[in-house]
């Protein structure tokens, strides 16, 4: 609607300018008469031409049709101007000059319209290419960040397997079986753009079961997430670094281990997920390593300022990592 209105206003100004120029060079004709003729012919050319141009996409066909439609639309505009102004007619001596001027300015207006449309289409095409290029760059960046998160867990688990092979082969075998199950699911989901929060929690459950083999009774966990929230779309591999951070910096250094709690609640606009532990807590200005840095960067890339990740010590001991995402 705005585009059509802009065309109408531009046509009105263009026609008025023509009337003004003609009145300057031919004082014998009143401005008002020139104004009526200019508007009638100009809008006739615009309406007839635009109707044809919008229906045809082939440039050659447009020019061919315009050779016939332009004289017809000028003649239509002149007929309307005869009736509205009460001056002139098809037998008037000014018919041929008026027709020539109408064709001249009508051709200029049509060429201007076609050039503007082509330039606008080119600008839209370039914007689309730029948008697609930026989208591919963002997707590649996210995949890189996602790929950087996965090895942390794999390297730690393989190191545990290596240490258990001599001391407890049966436990090492069990750990490898768990890791194989985790990889089968994780590699399929981690390569997708989105999964659900429920899928992510199922992977975390498997991940914690693997850690349980190593930590034994030193590691316990609780997951409290409503079924409705489990169905929500969720970026893959976004929660595991929080849990891994809680185990590595909270539970592992603490004598006797501790508990990890994973909770989620939602409002009309926000999904809030908290991963807390009963470990040793933050030491000094510690804010996490590469895993958490990648999580923050992925959140910023995916959601901008609409998301956040906050780490803080709990009053009763341990650390709470609170993640907020827009729905």
Report pLDDT digits (tens) over 189-215: 656 666 889 988 988 888 898 888 878
Is the pLDDT assigned to residue 286 strictly greater than 60? Answer: no
Domain boundaries, the chain: 2-128, 168-326
Q: Long-range contacts made by residues 204-210, C-beta under 8 angstroms, separation at least 24? A: 204/239, 204/240, 204/243, 204/262, 206/178, 206/181, 206/182, 207/153, 207/182, 207/240, 207/243, 207/244, 208/243, 208/260, 209/178, 210/157, 210/175, 210/178, 210/179, 210/182
pLDDT value at residue 219: 94
Judge: domain 168-326, CATH 3.30.565.10. Answer: yes
The whole-chain average pLDDT of the chain stands at: 79
pLDDT-derived band at 179 (thresholds 50, 70, 90) equals confident
Rounded to an integer, the average pLDDT of 23-39 is 76
pLDDT value at residue 58: 62
Rounded to an integer, the average pLDDT of 102-125 is 78
Helix (H, G, I), strand (E, B) or coil at 314: coil
What count of residues does the chain have?
A: 327
Is the pLDDT assigned to residue 61 strictly greater than 60? Answer: yes
pLDDT value at residue 163: 79
Query: DSSP class of residue 151?
Result: H
Pairwise pLDDT comparison (127 vs 217), residue with the higher score: 217
Sheet order of strands, 270-277 included: 219-224, 258-266, 270-277, 319-326, 308-313
Question: Within a 10 A sphere around the Cβ of 248, how many other Cβ atoms?
Answer: 17
Largest CA distance in the chain: 114
Rounded to an integer, the average pLDDT of 179-189 is 72
pLDDT-derived band at 57 (thresholds 50, 70, 90) equals low
Pairwise pLDDT comparison (222 vs 83), residue with the higher score: 222
* 219-268 pLDDT tens trace: 999 999 999 999 998 888 788 889 988 988 899 999 899 999 999 998 88
pLDDT value at residue 221: 95
Is the pLDDT assigned to residue 136 strictly greater than 80? Answer: no
Half-sphere exposure at residue 82, Cβ-oriented, CA atoms within 13 angstroms: 15
* 145-177 pLDDT tens trace: 455 545 566 777 787 788 788 888 888 888 888
CA dist., res. 10 & res. 18, Å (int): 12
Prediction pTM value: 0.54
Is the pLDDT assigned to residue 44 strictly greater than 50? Answer: yes
Is the pLDDT assigned to residue 74 strictly greater than 50? Answer: yes
The answer to whether 185 and 203 have CB atoms below 8 angstroms apart is yes
Rounded to an integer, the average pLDDT of 95-111 is 79
């Amino acid at each position: 609607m705005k585009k059509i209105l802009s065309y109408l206003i531009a046509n009105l100004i263009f026609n008025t300018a023509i009337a003004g120029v003609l009145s300057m060079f031919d004082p014998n004709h009143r401005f008002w008469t020139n104004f009526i003729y200019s508007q009638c012919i100009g809008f006739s050319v615009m309406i007839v031409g635009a109707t044809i141009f919008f229906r045809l996409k082939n440039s050659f066909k447009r020019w061919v049709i315009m050779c016939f439609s332009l004289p017809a639309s000028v003649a239509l505009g002149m007929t309307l101007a005869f009736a509205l102004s009460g001056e002139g007619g098809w037998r008037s001596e000014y018919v041929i000059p008026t027709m020539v001027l109408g064709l001249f300015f009508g051709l200029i207006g049509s060429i201007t319209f076609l050039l503007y449309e082509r330039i606008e289409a080119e600008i839209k095409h370039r914007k689309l290419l730029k948008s697609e290029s930026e989208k591919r760059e963002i997707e590649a960046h996210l995949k890189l960040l996602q790929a950087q998160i996965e090895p942390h867990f794999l390297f730690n688990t393989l190191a545990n397997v290596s240490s258990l092979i001599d001391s407890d082969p049966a436990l090492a075998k069990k750990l490898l079986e768990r890791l194989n199950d985790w990889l089968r699911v994780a590699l399929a989901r981690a390569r997708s753009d989105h999964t659900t929060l429920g899928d992510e929690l199922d992977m975390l459950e498997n991940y914690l079961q693997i850690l349980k083999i190593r930590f034994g009774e030193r590691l316990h966990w609780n997951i409290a997430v409503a079924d409705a929230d489990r169905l929500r779309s969720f970026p893959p591999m976004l929660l595991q670094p929080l849990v891994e951070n809680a185990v590595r910096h909270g539970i592992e250094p603490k004598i006797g281990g501790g508990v990890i709690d994973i909770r989620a609640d939602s409002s009309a606009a926000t999904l809030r997920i908290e991963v807390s532990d009963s470990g040793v807590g933050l030491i000094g200005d510690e804010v996490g390593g590469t895993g958490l840095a990648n999580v923050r960067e992925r959140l910023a890339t995916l959601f901008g300022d609409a998301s956040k990740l906050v780490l803080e010590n709990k009053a009763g001991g341990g650390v709470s990592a609170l993640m907020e995402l827009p729905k």
